[in-house]
Copies of this chain bind each other. A is one copy, B any other.
Amino acid sequence: MGEGMLRRICHLGYAVEDLEAAAAFYRESFGAEPSEPEEVESEGIVTSMFRVGDSTIELMQPTRPDSPVAKFLDRRGEGFHHVAFEVENLEEALRWLGKCGVELIDERPRRGAGGRRVAFVHPRGAFGVLTELVESGGEAAG
């Protein structure tokens, strides 16, 4: 296992202080089409997304001071927050990464946005990059 596990860049998550300003910036300067803001209560964020080729850029503004993205902004300021890669079989991927000794935040898949199965690799385990794995297809499956 492990061969060619990463199928594509699903999305990049950017942490921003002001979602409206960031969305306007990408709309006006780059001709992107950010989606209507959507609150993700469980993560304590409001997001707006736009497509770039086969991937998505996800702008994220915290909605409460104890959300992970708020803490990230306090510590690091605005900027890149995480990358998400598509994998075909998430459980198999996590088993393999566990065997390899990779430090995981989620040892089992959990439900992310749109009901997709996702899991995070700890940035300590991935040379400083917070890395999300998203299972192919299965939008709202289960």
Contact = CB atoms under 8 A, between A and B. Distances in A.
Interface of A: 1-9, 12, 14-16, 22, 25, 28-32, 52-55, 59, 76-80, 83, 85-86, 96-97, 100, 102, 123, 126-129
A29 B80 contact: no
A31 B12 contact: no
Contacts of A59: 127
A96 B96 CA distance: 47
B129 A79 contact: yes
Contact of A29 (B2, B12, B16, B129): B2
A12 B14 contact: no
A25 B127 contact: yes
B128 A79 contact: yes
B28 A2 contact: yes
A28 B80 contact: no
A12 B126 CA distance: 14
Contacts of A2: 28-31
B127 A14 contact: yes
Contacts of A127: 14, 16, 22, 25, 59, 78-79
